[in-house]
Amino acid sequence: MAGKDAREKWLRTQLDAIIPEGGEIPVSAEEGGAVEIFQDMASHLPALTGMSLHAAVVFVEFAGPLFGLKKTGRFSGLDSEKKTECLQGLSKSPIYLVRQMVMLLKMIACMGWGADPRVRRSLGYDRPPLFVERNGEAGNE
């Protein structure tokens, strides 16, 4: 199996393809801390679950293009447009396990991205909710 540094590089590439920098909210999943969340999850979850997270990264790197694009190659060797197309293909695979591999990575990307204060501010999550009254009771709206 590939070394830790290689897997981390592949993870960063995959996270960047899932939520890249430069969108309407200019924070990528990697900038939001998704790599650290992945590492924490992999080290604190039961061993088999942690290995499954690493397996998802390795799977997308080596088998992603085959299952997502019907082409041989490695995910990290694709251009950004092909990476997006590959992830879309994996998400629509008729094989449940293939869909779940990319879903694990998407969840981790979203956890890191959504926890970033810049993202929360941009989405308006730094303000009190409109549907809760000041006394803490749910409003009628």
Tens digit of each residue's pLDDT (9 = 90 or more) over 40-80: 999 999 999 999 999 999 999 999 999 999 999 999 999 99
Distance (Å, whole) CA 120 – CA 107: 17
Polymer length of the chain: 141
Among the listed residues 84, 71, 63, the one whose alpha carbon sits nearest the alpha carbon of residue 18 = 84
What backbone torsions phi and psi does residue 138 show, to the nearest 5 degrees? -65, 135
Quickly state the pLDDT bin for 120 (edges 50, 70, 90). confident
Residue ranges of domains in the chain: 4-123
**Would you give the DSSP letter of residue 128?**
P
Q: What is the pTM of this model?
A: 0.82
The token pair at 70 is 């019907």
Asked if the model's pLDDT at residue 139 lies above 70, the reply is: no
Kindly state the percentage of the chain with pLDDT values over 90: 65
How many other CB atoms are found less than 10 A from the CB of residue 61?
21
pLDDT at 25: 83
